[in-house]
Amino acid sequence: MNNKLYGKLIFELSKPGRRGYSLPVADELNRYQLPTEMRRAEDANLPECDEMTVVRHYTNHSANNFGVNNGFYPLGSCTMKYNPVIDEETAALPCLAGLHPMQPVETCQGALRIYDETQRMLSSLTGMSAFTLNPFAGAHGELTGLMIIRAWHERRGDTKRVKVIVPDSAHGTNPASAAVCGLEVVEVKSTPEGTVDVENLRGLLDDTVAAMMMTNPNTLGLFEKEIPEIAQLVHDCGGLMYYDGANLNPMLGVCRPGDMGFDVMHVNLHKTFATPHGGGGPGSGPVGVRKGLEDLLPTPRVVKQDDGSYTVNCEEGISVGEFFGNFAVIVRAYTYLLSLGKENVKMVGPLATLNANYIKESLKDVYELPIEGLCKHEFVFDGLKDKQTGVTTMDVAKRLLDYGYHAPTIYFPLLFHESLMIEPTESESIDTIDGFIETMRIIAEEAARDPELVKGAPHNTPIGRVDDVLAAKNPVLTYKKLIENG
Ligand SMILES: *Cc1c(COP(=O)(O)O)cnc(C)c1O
């Protein structure tokens, strides 16, 4: 868009005296004057704009945002799947959205029922015994789970367990959560096939191991086939098994971490259970535990009583937040699960897996596939097959923007130099997926025919290629008022 007003900040559009509406001051307002010491000495420095300027400003900004609602978003590891509108509708119902966390339990029985039933549905989908919905994100769930594991060891008087084993392919939050929990991170290597190296693991196990964290399918989209043996080894040395279920999509209705020998796990409602995410929240990272660990779940807890009513247990215990997590996210997950139902939820995993394999097989003649074979919900290319052109994964990702696609995850996992990680999810149609495959092939042709075209991309976006290094080294984090500075 070539409009001069476009791309400006709302403060830059401000003109003294510009107004949308001028409402008469109500007498009511004057009756409740704030004490002087609580009032501003000067008026707040707010932009002054007419209504239409404001509407256009924000509408243009929103149209500039890329989301699942305007295009294909094949971002691996973070599952950007479609979030059905009905989930938004229920989350916005005034009777739910208007609840106050401090109101008496007799007046919010319905909300407590939603908590309780969501916990039960998650338990039955994962094979865990009980869940808490209190954590606010996946990483927060990991921390909660590790706190539970530490408390369990401490309760048995086993205080020398300070190590957490984390695969080298793990999501960065795994080692970070272990460190925040005050535990020591020990890395276990991957085999050339991309799964946990069991021989390497054997050498790391002793009576100082508190837990092993695993992601399955792992960040390469590969199913960890050795889990029964790994779980046996870790349990034999007295450690617990932690399952990072942030990306539970491919597992839904197919298999359950609880049946594989995991003791504690988290899921990401904002990835698997249809809550919009990206941009930092809000999220929810429920934590589930197997039998025998339920009493270590954090408080407050929702308790169903014999007469069918609900009460809240606020006893001392692990606490990871004041109230019950992000309620609106939980309502969305609850709606999502109820709207799919028991039968359809079983289709999520197989369809997500089919879509990923279809893309992988359709493109592996032009993109480098480092690990052959069946993947789960996502897979990783190691850049273009033809490395002569000098066109990198970054260039391919930027060129995709020109064609109206969100870029896949790039340069993660760190196991390859040119990682390009693609996750289509179950909700995309064959037409969308075929369109993406065709575009990826066009970009590969462009790279061979006119590499500079791809290296200079994006050409059609409002902002071209930014200097990532400069942005990281010299971030401008505050807005300087340009108007005042001339
Ligand atoms: C996204 C993700 C996490 C972290 O979840 P957040 O909600 O972003 O904190 C952890 N592990 C894996 C495998 C993930 O994909």
Whole-Å CA distances, 28 to 22, 24, 32, 37, 369: 17, 11, 7, 21, 69
15 alpha carbon to ligand 1 midpoint, in Å?
Answer: 44
User: Is the CB of 283 inside a 6 Å radius of any atom of ligand 1?
Assistant: yes
User: Is the CB of 137 inside a 6 Å radius of any atom of ligand 1?
Assistant: yes
217 alpha carbon to ligand 1 midpoint, in Å?
Answer: 13
Give the confidence band of 481 by pLDDT, cuts at 50, 70, 90. Answer: low
36 alpha carbon to ligand 1 midpoint, in Å?
Answer: 47
Q: Which atom of ligand 1 is nearest to the CA of 271?
A: 1
414 alpha carbon to ligand 1 midpoint, in Å?
Answer: 16
Instruction: List the residue whose alpha carbon is closest to atom 7 of ligand 1.
Output: 138
365 alpha carbon to ligand 1 midpoint, in Å?
Answer: 31
pLDDT, greater one: 275 or 27: 275
171 alpha carbon to ligand 1 midpoint, in Å?
Answer: 7
In the block, tokens 């075929």 appear at 434
User: Is the CB of 247 inside a 6 Å radius of any atom of ligand 1?
Assistant: yes
Range 208-222 average pLDDT: 92
Q: Which of 322, 363, 353 is nearest to 426 (CA)?
A: 353
Q: Give the 3-state secondary structure of the chain.
A: CCCCCCCCCHHHHCCCCCCCCCCCCCHHHHHCCCCHHHCCCCCCCCCCCCHHHHHHHHHHHHHCCCCCCCCCCCECCCCCCCCCHHHHHHHCCHHHHCCCCCCCHHHHHHHHHHHHHHHHHHHHHHCCCEEECCCCCHHHHHHHHHHHHHHHHHHCCCCCCCEEEEECCCCCHHHHHHHHCCCEEEEECECCCCCECHHHHHCCCCCCEEEEEEECCCCCCCCCCCHHHHHHHHHHCCCEEEEEECCCHHHCCCCCHHHHCCCEEEECHHHHCCCCCCCCCCCCCCEEECCCCHHHCCCCEEEECCCCCEEEECCCCCCCCCCCCCHHHHHHHHHHHHHHHHHHHHHHHHHHHHHHHHHHHHHCCCECCCCCCCCCCCEEEECECCCCCCCCHHHHHHHHHHCCCCCCEECCCCCCCCEEEECCCCCCCHHHHHHHHHHHHHHHHHHHHCHHHHHCCCCCCCCCCCCHHHHHHCCCCCCCCCCCCC
pLDDT of residue 272: 93
Give the confidence band of 34 by pLDDT, cuts at 50, 70, 90. Answer: confident
Q: Which atom of ligand 1 is nearest to the CA of 141?
A: 9
Question: Tens digits of per-residue pLDDT, 369-406?
Answer: 999 989 999 999 999 999 999 999 999 999 999 999 99
121 alpha carbon to ligand 1 midpoint, in Å?
Answer: 21
pLDDT reading at 76 higher than 70 = yes
Instruction: List the residue whose alpha carbon is closest to atom 15 of ligand 1.
Output: 77
Instruction: List the residue whose alpha carbon is closest to atom 8 of ligand 1.
Output: 138
Question: Tens digits of per-residue pLDDT, 334-361?
Answer: 999 999 999 999 999 999 999 999 999 9
Range 20-32 average pLDDT: 74
pLDDT reading at 445 higher than 80 = yes
User: Is the CB of 215 inside a 6 Å radius of any atom of ligand 1?
Assistant: yes
Instruction: List the residue whose alpha carbon is closest to atom 4 of ligand 1.
Output: 138
Cβ atoms of 299 and 313 within 8 Å: the answer is yes
User: Is the CB of 166 inside a 6 Å radius of any atom of ligand 1?
Assistant: no
139 alpha carbon to ligand 1 midpoint, in Å?
Answer: 6
Give the confidence band of 4 by pLDDT, cuts at 50, 70, 90. Answer: low
Give the confidence band of 480 by pLDDT, cuts at 50, 70, 90. Answer: low
Q: Which atom of ligand 1 is nearest to the CA of 270?
A: 7
User: Is the CB of 173 inside a 6 Å radius of any atom of ligand 1?
Assistant: yes
Instruction: List the residue whose alpha carbon is closest to atom 6 of ligand 1.
Output: 138
In the block, tokens 């020398």 appear at 160
Bridge partners of residue 381, in order along the sequence: 420
Q: Which atom of ligand 1 is nearest to the CA of 215?
A: 13
pLDDT reading at 483 higher than 50 = no
User: Is the CB of 126 inside a 6 Å radius of any atom of ligand 1?
Assistant: no
Return the C-alpha torsion angle 149, 151, 152, 157, nearest 10.
130
User: Is the CB of 77 inside a 6 Å radius of any atom of ligand 1?
Assistant: yes
Q: Which of 422, 97, 72 is nearest to 282 (CA)?
A: 97
| Mutate-to-test residue for ligand 1 from 75, 136, 166, 173, highest number of ligand atoms within 8 A of CB | 173
Give the confidence band of 486 by pLDDT, cuts at 50, 70, 90. Answer: very low
Residues above pLDDT 90, as percent of the chain: 75
pLDDT reading at 2 higher than 60 = no
d(CA 363, CA 438): 9
pLDDT reading at 266 higher than 70 = yes
Count Cβ atoms within 10 A of the Cβ of residue 259 and give its class: 0-12 exposed, 13-18 middle, 19 or more buried. Answer: exposed
pLDDT of residue 22: 74
User: Is the CB of 335 inside a 6 Å radius of any atom of ligand 1?
Assistant: no
Q: Which of 470, 462, 469, 457 is nearest to 395 (CA)?
A: 457
d(CA 438, CA 432): 10
Which amino acid is present at 238?
Answer: G
Q: Which atom of ligand 1 is nearest to the CA of 137?
A: 7
**Phi and psi (nearest 5°) for 393?**
-60, -40
